């Protein structure tokens, strides 16, 4: 801070040009690259750049895809620094229900449409007035609307939804069901940031199941909350910082239920690019039998 | 008997005596087998009244071997306590020996022991209250039993060794016989008859022995039947519900399990017992029903001192180097001795002072309605310099790296050189600034009376701006990547510190000029609807709310596990911050609009009743 006041006496300098980042070398990062990124991050008012990639597969044992995915990466215009904007949604239509893919598709369309509409003037125009709702309110309204739509248009069906709105360096999550969002850190730590709304998770939390019993629980797919199911939707909505120098990952249980966290980390660190990382994970899940549809979104904040 | 008493009293230290030039004895607070326990003042802190407990041990044993053992035990207690760090265990400050006297200097616990609480209560203690203490006792036992490298067995759990402090929380005292447990070793039989489990009489001390004694303590607390007056191990003959019909069968079952004769039939650990108590509490609703009806906090709180000014005090004090600085609507800034409230000096301005003083480099900085930022010497109140703004100053100065940031009714935010009092820059806004600027992330954040909220960099250039619907008088705080601030539009906002986007909005019942406080993942704020709110910072969900009798313009302050906040209803409230449970309140003679400050367990605040008060936190 003292530095700043010293600088006041000098002539105003040109703002530092953001360092160009070669997309092809974003992942895996060597220690040196990581350090240099960390170094850049410690300089204030850096320009952050959001990048993301998607992987999807129907799997080896299903004949149609009930997962739906939306990944939209952009920048908020009209601000000198360019605020990263990202909207990432994974929805996994409930099997055994009528039209699982109809529900997951509708959830994505309604939520995605609603949120992008709110941000339309920031993304494609010059905003004339500030957004009335807070980010958490935008998520709440959008997921509720999707819930009502699915109830109306595809009664009886249901879907998981894990949606992440990235704005600047924070992530606002709306979540229902057992798709998951993870924070993945540069040191290889992986933290789930959502809580499954599933019967098995609930029984585990209540202490009724041991670790072994959890692994072998016969009704692992039973959800206790889902979009489209029940009169009121109680979604988890919260905000957390984007993992510094790490990744945000959203995936369906066709990925997290099939390969281990260790495998996930290996897929990411061994891949030269985000695209490859996503493909690696999808291939790993298929190699492990591919029992379910697989969807994954991987996002990274560079700079 | 009489001569025994005489002898004991002769041996007691007299009030006013000072030990090792540091601890001035004030009173006897307990008499034990080996000596007395005193309340004393620690003279090492001349500017505040720091009270300590001095535990004395008089070693009159004629046998040198026994004398040596006694001293060793004493030193063991000291060394053991010194390694522990838990809210329910008194901190140790010092120990020393003088001839046949040894002294242990400990944290002074304001409160009563549980045995006194049981005796002083008419009728039975409420089950909810006993459950809440039981849960805390399980917590501290779990801490002791989990001690590394060896578990610590308390071995003397009984009501007289459980202090209930003035916040209604338990503190374990008398670690004289607590023993680090070495597996396989048989200790000697120490403990208090009636509360000790059968195996302890056989010389065994294990964590489940403490579980039994806790069960016995709870049994005593809920039935009022002193086990020392009953045959040993006869609890099964006195079921809780036969004596006290108000007890739930669930709680009775927990106490019965703890009191099983055979150690393997008891709870295997303190944490298992706590889990059982928690599920009872959830079932009976004890957690939400635990109210302020504490036998210890109902007695009315006496201030440590109070000081009367000549007009209303609406602002917040500052404490520095043993002095309390506070502005008053008699136009003076007062400096008072924090230890006793003695007047030190006052400095007159030409307007009322609500601005909270800041101290930097032995100078006190504050604004006044006379439009000036005043800087006076903290020792003598002599003016150092003043700085004119074009309007009254209600904002409090924020000093960061040699520069002062302060808002004014002239609608400008002023950045002033701390040494020279010269303006570095001014930033013009669209409204008067009452909000106190926050300096964080190399930015300056503040609100205005026109409802704008600004983020400037250190050059005074606008980084972003956020618009609320009504004035932002509240002063922002930051945590992580968010800024939190309230508005008179009745909303508590979480704004992204970097770009000003609203992450969440929490609706208050009415507008707020209160400034938020944060602890863990919880944020606290008062509002004009009379509530103090607690909100989860991640999800913006309400955790609890506490109703006062009038508007809350005071800002909550977190200290240890409590929050402190004033209300226009004239009370200063102390609430447990996780639950919003009232611990105590202190009634001033008029509204409290400013905020308290807390330092070294003492709360300082001013009131519209013209007084500055100091209370034990």
User: Using CB atoms, which residue from B400, B466, B480 is nearest to A241?
Assistant: B480
Mutation site for B-interface testing, chosen from A41, A77, A134, A169 by largest number of B Cβ within 10 Å: A134
Residues B126 and B95 in one domain: no
Q: Is B179 exposed, middle or buried (0-12, 13-18, 19+ CB in 10 A)?
A: buried
Interchain contact B288–A (C-beta under 8 A): no
With a cut of 90, say whether residue A17 has pLDDT above it. no
Q: Give a yes or no: residue B583 inside a domain.
A: yes
Lowest mean pLDDT across A43-52, B31-40, B163-172, B587-596: A43-52
Q: A167, B403: Cβ pair inside 8 Å?
A: no
Out of A4, A167, A241, name the one closest to residue B501 (CB): A167
Nearest CA in chain A to B402: A2
Q: Are residues B91 and B133 both part of a single domain?
A: no
Residue-level pLDDT at B261: 85
Contact A134 B502 (CB under 8 A): yes
Under CATH, to which class is A48-302 assigned? alpha beta
Q: What is the pLDDT of residues B537-585, one digit of tens each?
A: 999 988 889 999 999 999 999 998 899 999 999 999 999 998 888 889 9
Residue B9 lies in a domain: yes
- CA B607, CA B336: separation in Å to the nearest integer? 15
Best to test chain B binding among A50, A135, A181 (most B CBs inside 10 Å): A135
Among B466, B503, B539, the residue with its CB nearest the CB of A135 is B503
Specify whether B281 is located in the same domain as B193.
yes
| CB contact at 8 A, B615 and B594 | no
Beta-sheet strands, E only, within B338-422:
343-348, 358-360, 363-367, 372-377, 383-388, 398-400, 403-407, 412-417
Alpha-helix runs per DSSP H in A57-134: 100-124
Is residue B501 domain-resident? no
Q: In the predicted model, is pLDDT for residue A80 greater than 80? A: no
Question: Could you tell me the CA-to-CA distances from B260 to A9, A140, B348 in Å, in that order?
Answer: 78, 52, 71
Nearest by CB to B496, which of A4, A130, A170?
A: A170
Cα B291 to Cα B286: distance, rounded to the nearest angstrom: 9
Tell me, yes or no, whether B433 lies in a domain.
no
**What gap in Å lies between CA B541 and CA B583, rounded to an integer?**
24
Q: In this complex, is the C-beta atom of B133 within 8 Å of any C-beta atom belonging to chain A?
A: no
B463 three-state secondary structure = strand
The residues of A whose Cβ lies within 8 A of any Cβ of B are 1-2, 4-5, 8, 44, 76, 79, 81, 83, 130-131, 133-137, 167-170, 172, 236-241
Contact A131 B458 (CB under 8 A): no
**B12 or A184, higher pLDDT:** A184
**Strand order from edge to edge, sheet including B438-440:** B438-440, B443-447, B452-457, B462-467
Bridge partners, A50 (sequence order): A301
Q: What is the sign, positive or negative, of the torsion defined by CA atoms of B183, B184, B185, B188?
A: positive
* Number of domains making up chain B: 4
DSSP states of B268-336: SSHHHHHHHHHHHHHHHTHHHH--S--TTTTT-PPPSEEEE-SS---S--EEETTEEEEE-TTSEEEEE
Chain A residue numbers touching B503 (CB-CB < 8 A): 134-136, 170, 172, 239
Closest by CA position to B214, among listed B288, B140, B149: B140
Residue bearing the bigger pLDDT, B369 or B67: B369
Lowest mean pLDDT among A30-34, A242-246, B513-517: A30-34
Name the residue of chain A whose CA is nearest to B458's CA: A4
- For residue B395, what are the contacts with CB-CB under 8 A and spacing of at least 6? B355, B367, B406, B407, B408, B433, B434, B435, B436, B437, B446
Per-residue pLDDT, averaged over B327-331, amounts to 95
| Within a domain: B303 | no
| Cβ partners under 8 Å of residue A31, min gap 6 | none
pLDDT in tens, A118-159: 998 888 877 777 788 999 999 999 999 999 999 888 887 889
Mean pLDDT of the region B471-478: 95
Residues B117 and B97 in one domain: no
Residue B467 falls within a domain, yes or no? no
Same-domain status, B103 and B127:
no
Is there a single domain that holds both residue B327 and residue B270?
no
CB proximity B540 to A under 8 Å: yes
Q: Where in the sequence is the domain holding B98, given as residue range(s)?
A: 2-107
Does B402 share its domain with B280?
Answer: no
Q: Show which of B428, B445, B467 is a domain's final residue.
A: B428
The predicted model gives A262-266 an average pLDDT of: 95
Say yes or no: B467 contacts chain A, CB-CB below 8 A: yes
Task: Enumerate the residues of chain A whose CB falls inside 8 A of the CB of residue B417.
Answer: none
Kindly identify which residue of chain B lies nearest to residue A119, measuring between CA atoms: B501
Percentage above 70 pLDDT, chain B: 91
> How much is the pLDDT for A95?
65
Residues B41 and B55 occupy one common structural domain: yes
Q: Which band of pLDDT confidence, cut at 50, 70 and 90, is reported for residue A183?
A: very high
CB burial of residue A231 (10 Å; 0-12, 13-18, 19+): exposed
Would B300 be classed as within a structural domain? no
Residue B340 lies in a domain: yes
Regarding whether B95 and B117 lie in a shared domain, the answer is no
For chain B, the C-alpha Rg in angstroms (whole number) is 28
Using a CB–CB cutoff of 8 Å, tell me whether B426 touches chain A: no
User: Are B216 and B232 in a shared domain?
Assistant: yes
DSSP secondary structure of A187-219: TS-EEE-S---BHHHHHHHTT-S-HHHHHT-TT
Furthest-apart CA atoms within chain A: distance in Å = 71
CA distance B506 to B540: 6
Question: Which helix (H) or strand (E) segment is A36 a member of?
Answer: helix A31-42
| Residue B8 in contact with partner chain A when CB distance is under 8 A | no
Looking at B62, B92, B107, the residue that finishes a domain is: B107
Considering B428, B445, B475, which residue would you say is the last residue of a domain?
B428
Tell whether B169 and B90 lie within a shared domain: no
Which residues does chain A have within 8 Å of residue B399's beta carbon, measured at their own beta carbons?
Answer: none
Across A240-244, A251-255, B194-198, least confident range: B194-198
Query: Is the ipTM reported for this complex over the cut 0.90?
Result: no
**DSSP letter at B237?**
G
Is the confidence at residue A61, as pLDDT, over 50?
A: yes
Q: In this structure, what CATH number is given to the domain that contains residue B152?
A: 1.10.510.10
What SS3 class is residue B72? helix
Ranges of beta strands (E only) in B530-592 are 531-536, 542-547, 557-559, 562-566, 571-576, 582-587
Residues of B whose CB is below 8 A from A238: 538-539
**Is there a contact between B499 and A237 if contact means CB atoms under 8 Å apart?**
no
Backbone angles phi, psi at B490, to 5 degrees: 80, 25
Q: For residues B235 and B185, which has the higher predicted lDDT (pLDDT)?
A: B235
Cβ within 8 Å, pair A238-B401: no
Q: Residues B117, B228: one domain?
A: yes
User: Are A238 and B538 a contacting pair at CB < 8 A?
Assistant: yes
Please compute the mean of the pLDDT values over residues B193-216 and round it to a whole number: 83
pLDDT given at position A175: 97
**What is the average pLDDT value for chain B, to the nearest integer?**
87
What CATH number is attached to the domain comprising B574? 2.40.128.630
Provide mean pLDDT across the span B605-614. Answer: 95
Question: Which helix (H) or strand (E) is A6 found in, with range?
Answer: helix A2-9
Query: What is the distance between the alpha carbons of residues B563 and B309, in angstroms, rounded to a whole number?
Result: 26
Residue with tokens 């005193």: B38
């Amino acid at each position: 801070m003292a530095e700043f006041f010293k600088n006041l006496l000098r002539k105003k300098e040109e703002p530092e040009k953001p360092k160009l980042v070669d997309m092809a070398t974003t992942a895996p990062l060597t220690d040196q690259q990581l350090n240099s990124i960390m170094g850049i991050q410690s300089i204030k008012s850096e320009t952050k750049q959001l990048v993301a990639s998607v992987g999807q597969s129907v799997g080896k044992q299903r004949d149609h895809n009930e997962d739906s995915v939306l990944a939209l990466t952009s920048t908020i215009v009209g601000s000198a620094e360019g605020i990263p904007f990202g909207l990432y949604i994974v929805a996994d239509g409930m099997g055994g229900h009528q039209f699982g893919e109809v529900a997951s598709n509708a959830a994505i369309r309604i939520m995605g449409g609603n949120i992008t509409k709110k941000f339309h003037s920031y993304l494609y125009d010059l905003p004339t007035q500030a957004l009335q709702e807070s980010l958490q309110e935008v998520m709440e309204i959008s997921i509720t609307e999707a819930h009502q739509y699915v109830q109306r248009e595809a009664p009886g069906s249901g879907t998981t939804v894990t949606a992440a709105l990235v704005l600047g360096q924070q992530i606002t999550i709306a979540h229902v069901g057992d798709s998951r969002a993870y924070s993945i850190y540069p040191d290889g730590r992986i933290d789930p940031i959502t809580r499954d709304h599933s019967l098995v998770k609930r029984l585990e939390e209540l202490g009724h199941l041991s670790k072994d019993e959890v692994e072998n629980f016969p009704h692992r797919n039973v959800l206790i909350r889902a979009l489209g199911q029940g009169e009121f939707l109680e979604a988890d909505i919260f905000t957390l910082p984007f993992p510094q120098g790490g990744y945000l990952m959203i995936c369906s249980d066709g990925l997290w239920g099939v390969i281990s966290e260790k495998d996930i980390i290996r897929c990411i660190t061994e891949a030269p690019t985000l695209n490859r990382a996503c493909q690696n994970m999808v291939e790993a899940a298929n190699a492990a039998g591919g029992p379910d549809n697989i969807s994954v979104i991987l996002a990274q904040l560079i700079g | 008997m009489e001569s025994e008493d005489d002898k004991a009293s002769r041996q007691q230290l007299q009030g006013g005596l000072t030990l090792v030039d540091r601890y001035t004895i004030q009173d006897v607070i307990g008499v034990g087998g080996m000596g007395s326990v005193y309340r004393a003042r620690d003279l090492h802190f001349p500017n505040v009244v720091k009270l300590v407990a001095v535990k004395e041990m008089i070693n009159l044993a004629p046998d040198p071997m026994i004398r040596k053992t006694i001293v060793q035990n004493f030193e063991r207690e000291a060394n053991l306590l010194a390694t522990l760090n838990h809210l329910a265990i008194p901190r140790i400050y010092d120990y020393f020996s003088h001839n046949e006297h040894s002294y242990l200097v400990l944290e002074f616990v304001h409160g009563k022991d549980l045995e006194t609480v049981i005796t002083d209560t008419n009728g039975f203690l409420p089950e909810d209250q006993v459950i809440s203490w039981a849960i805390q006792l399980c917590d501290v036992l779990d801490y002791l039993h989990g001690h590394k490298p060896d578990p610590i067995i308390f071995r003397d759990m009984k009501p007289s060794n459980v202090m209930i402090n003035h916040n209604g929380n338990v503190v374990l005292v008398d670690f004289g016989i607590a023993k680090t447990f070495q597996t396989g070793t048989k200790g000697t039989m120490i403990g208090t008859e009636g509360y000790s489990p059968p195996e302890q009489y056989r010389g065994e001390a294990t964590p489940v022995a403490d579980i039994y004694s806790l069960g016995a303590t709870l049994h005593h607390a809920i039935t009022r039947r002193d086990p020392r007056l009953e045959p040993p191990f006869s609890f099964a003959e006195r079921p809780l519900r036969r004596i006290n019909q108000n007890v739930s069968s669930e709680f009775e079952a927990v106490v019965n399990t703890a009191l099983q004769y055979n150690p393997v039939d008891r709870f295997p650990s303190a944490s298992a017992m706590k889990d059982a108590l928690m599920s009872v509490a959830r079932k009976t609703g004890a957690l939400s029903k635990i109210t302020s009806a504490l036998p210890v906090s109902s007695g009315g709180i006496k201030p440590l001192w109070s000081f009367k000014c000549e007009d209303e005090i609406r602002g917040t004090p500052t404490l520095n180097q043993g002095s309390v600085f506070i502005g008053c609507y008699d136009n003076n800034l007062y400096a008072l001795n924090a230890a006793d409230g003695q007047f030190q000096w006052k400095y007159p301005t030409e307007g009322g002072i609500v601005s909270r003083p800041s101290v930097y480099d032995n100078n006190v900085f504050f604004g006044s309605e006379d439009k000036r930022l005043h800087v006076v010497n903290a020792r003598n109140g002599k003016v150092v310099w003043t700085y004119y703004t074009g309007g009254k100053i209600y904002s409090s100065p924020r000093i960061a790296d040699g520069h002062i940031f302060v808002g004014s009714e002239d609608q400008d935010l002023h950045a002033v050189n701390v040494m020279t009092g010269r303006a570095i820059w001014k930033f013009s806004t669209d409204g008067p600034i009452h909000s106190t600027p926050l300096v964080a992330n190399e930015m300056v954040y503040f609100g205005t009376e026109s409802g704008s909220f600004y983020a400037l960099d250190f050059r005074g250039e606008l980084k972003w701006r956020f618009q609320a619907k009504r004035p932002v008088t509240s002063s922002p705080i930051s945590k992580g990547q968010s800024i939190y601030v309230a508005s008179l539009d009745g909303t508590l906002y979480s704004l992204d510190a970097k770009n000003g986007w609203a992450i969440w909005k929490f609706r208050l019942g009415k507008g707020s000029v209160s400034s938020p406080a944060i602890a863990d993942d919880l944020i606290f704020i008062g509002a004009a609807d009379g509530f103090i709110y607690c909100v989860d910072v991640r999800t913006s969900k309400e955790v609890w709310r506490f109703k006062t009798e009038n508007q809350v313009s005071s800002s909550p302050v977190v200290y240890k596990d409590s929050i402190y906040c004033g209300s226009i209803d004239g009370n200063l409230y102390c609430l447990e911050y996780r639950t919003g449970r009232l611990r105590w309140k202190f009634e001033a003679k008029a509204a409290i609009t400013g905020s308290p400050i807390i330092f070294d367990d003492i709360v300082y605040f001013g009131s519209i009743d013209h007084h500055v008060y100091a209370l034990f936190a």
